[in-house]
Amino acid sequence: MKIAILPGDGIGPEITAQAVRVLNALGENFEMEQADVGGAGYAAHGHPLPPASLALAKGADAVLFGAVGDYKYDTLERALRPEQAILGLRRELGLFANLRPAILYPELAGASTLKPEVVSGLDILIIRELTGDIYFGKPRGVRECPDGPFKGEREGFDTMRYAESEIRRIAHVAFQAARKRGKRVTSVDKANVLETFQFWRDIVTEVHQDYADVELEHMYVDNAAMQLVRAPKKFDVIVTGNMFGDILSDCAAMLTGSIGMLPSASLDANNKGLYEPSHGSAPDIAGKGIANPLATILSAAMMLRYSLNMAAQADRIEAAVKQVLAQGLRTPDIYEAGTTKVGTAEMGDAVVNALR
């Protein structure tokens, strides 16, 4: 099994190092190779996604990605900014399915801004289509408005579009994921207003015919936003387009109160994938040794489950994380009175020890 390790910049290298230690502690024969991306790619090779780093990612069975986006590089032109690394990888590797579990560990019930009874035991999975929708649809731009009441003024415009095969493949990912979980899919759309999402609803309904064992419900995105905050435990798997998923997944992430705990997977058509924490490169705490490495460690567990066919080892990592939380160990982002504050490396040590 060949794993490409792309730590990136900011806290990326610190948190990725801990995930690598955890993977090594499993005692499997992973071949792990590391390369520079983001600010680190720019600093060493003049580009956020150097050709050698991209080649490594393409040749690997899976990619473990840290984070990119150190503010040091903010003044660079857009094509050289660190974020181009993750956008380029998604595009080049065809990573169309973004899976973001939102799990509230009982030990962290106090970390959510919602009432404990609303979120305790929360375990939902948001699946966001990642390569289509209005974010990539053409034409787009700013032009002279051709018609209507604003004719002659300048207008900004984008194009929302989804091809049938794009909807089918993300729907299959959702139904298959639901099969391994609570067997319920909520497809979120805006079919009442948007042609694209009426089409989405029709195709998802069709794909559902292959999954009689999974329950399908359709929900408008505005209602979904409301239900996520009102009664999030009613969901199992949520599948939606790129833009709705961008917004809903951040909302769902915050139900758990701690971005430092949330892993993610981005998959291609063959379940090859890139795994990364949901958070960014946290330049405000980079180099201080206090970043929470658990989102990255849990991303490594997702990698074992979804891309490397090693569900038992994924379970071991997740159990080890639960154990260190039960021991009361907390990085500052999840610290509460009565627990023990630890740094990035100590948290890594504790997970490694729990695994053994």
Residue ranges binding Mg ion (CB under 5 A):
246
User: Does 281 participate in binding ligand NAI (rule CB under 6 A)?
Assistant: yes
* Range in contact with ligand NAI (rule: CB under 6 A) among 130-138, 281-289, 298-306, 310-318: 281-289
How far apart CA 73 and CA 221 sit, in angstroms, is 35
> Which of residues 56, 216, 243, 282 is near ligand NAI by CB under 6 A?
282
Distance CA 136, CA 138 (A): 7
Query: Which residue lies nearer to ligand NAI by CB, 237 or 282?
Result: 282
Among 201, 279, 305, 316, binds ligand NAI (CB under 6 A): 279
Q: Does 83 bind ligand NAI (CB under 6 A)?
A: yes
Please report, as a single letter, which amino acid is at residue 240. T
Among 54, 174, 252, 285, which residue sits at the site for ligand NAI (rule: CB under 6 A)? 285
Sign of the Cα torsion 38, 285, 248, 303 reads positive
Which among 167-175, 200-208, 221-229, 274-282 is the span making contact with ligand NAI, rule CB under 6 A? 274-282
Distance in angstroms (rounded) separating the CA atoms of residues 83 and 68: 6
**Active site residue: 71, 135, 220, 335, which one?**
135
Determine the Cα–Cα distance for residues 275 and 318; give it in Å rounded to an integer: 15
190, 236, 272, 275: the catalytic one is 190
Q: Mask of contacts with ligand NAI, 194-233, x by CB under 6 A?
A: ----------------------------------------
- Binding residue (CB under 6 A) for ligand NAI from 1, 259, 268, 346: 259
Among 4, 35, 67, 99, binds ligand NAI (CB under 6 A): 67
Contact 61, 272 (CB under 8 A): yes
Active-site option among 202, 210, 250, 315:
250
For tokens 């984008």, name the residue.
Answer: 158
> Is position 349 annotated as part of the catalytic site?
no
Amino acid at position 71, single letter: Y
- Which of 297, 181, 174, 185 shows the shortest CA–CA distance to 235? 185
Bridge partner residues of 82 (DSSP):
none
Between strands 263-267 and 273-277, the pairing is: antiparallel
- Pair of tokens at residue 34: 């590391």
| CA end-to-end distance (rounded Å), the chain | 22
Nearer to ligand NAI, 3 or 191 (CB): 3
Q: Does residue 295 bind ligand NAI (CB under 6 A)?
A: yes
* Radius of gyration of the CA atoms of the chain, in A: 21
Q: How far is the CB of 37 from ligand NAI (least distance, A)?
A: 9
For residues 158 and 246, which CB has a smaller minimum distance to Mg ion in the complex? 246
285 is in an annotated binding site: yes
* Candidate list 123, 246, 268, 349, residue with the active-site label: 246
Q: Are 92 and 58 in contact (CB under 8 A)?
A: yes
CA quadruple 268, 273, 279, 284: dihedral positive or negative? negative
What are the Cα distances from residue 146, in Å, to 102, 150, 156?
44, 8, 12
Point out which residues bind ligand NAI (CB under 6 A). Answer: 11, 15, 67-69, 83, 86, 259-260, 276, 279-285, 291-292, 295, 333
Binding annotation: 90, 100, 128, 222, 246, 250, 280-292
Binding annotation for substrate: 90, 100, 128, 222
What are the catalytic residues? 135, 190, 222, 246, 250
